[in-house]
Amino acid sequence: MERPVTPARPHHKLTEDGRRVREVLSYSRRGSRFTPRQAEAWAAHQERWVIPDEAVDRPGFSLEQWFGRRAPLVVEIGSGVGEATAPLAAARPAHDVLAFEVWRPGVADTLWKLAEAGAENVRLCGVDAVWSMEHLLGEGDVEELWTFFPDPWRKTRHHKRRLVSADFARLAASRLRPGAVWRLATDWADYAEQMLEVLDAEPLLEGGVVERWAERPVTRFERKGVEAGRAITDLCYRRR
């Protein structure tokens, strides 16, 4: 009899009889071909700043070992090409920044941006962020959570793929320390409405729509939304 597959990081779960099933994810994986600049950045910085997918399955996995210290932790979900990650992390040298991004060329772009910004306090991870929040982080571990322009999954039948759901809000709130904040931004009005509905209903959180966070750099996602005539909505919630 074949041994059941371990329910590993990115998108594997098992049925009761050991069969692998596919999870509903909040992202889709894209191509992984590098440009010359991305390849150069990957070769120069990947070993130090990128946590390999398989590392999270090793006994005794510890973020402190990857950062080389214990410091207040910021988590970014969907760091893209690092347009926000690099300057925000560089401005917070006393914090560790754990950035989740599954698109490898985006990770490579982020690496050279981090190097240019002198932001050595970032570690990138390509493992599913929801799984990682549940299994790699403990209650109260997170000082700040950033979710800027998550995939809107515009078609109604795909709304179940959206990251900001009641289940994820419950999980994220549990990982925030009391007083810690969750900053979000989207350029899709219906997703902003869903975020408000979901996060207002989470008893561990308080907050709502706020003025644009001045520190957040304008990324290509934001520029694209503005050029298309969509309003940008910033939200901020605090853990009670």
Give catalytic residue positions.
151
Residue 95 phi/psi, 5-degree rounding, is -110, 155
Backbone phi and psi for residue 125, each to the nearest 5 degrees, phi listed first: -135, 130
**Cα 195 to Cα 26: distance, rounded to the nearest angstrom:** 14
Distance CA 223, CA 237 (A): 24
Scored b (16 or more CB within 10 A) or e, 108-141 reads bbbbbbbeebebbbbbbbbbbbbbbbeebbeeeb
Burial class (CB in 10 A: 0-12, 13-18, 19+), 191: buried
CA distance 205 to 240: 6
Tokens of 22: 């596919």
Alpha-carbon torsion, ordered 200, 204, 91, 70, to 10 deg: -160
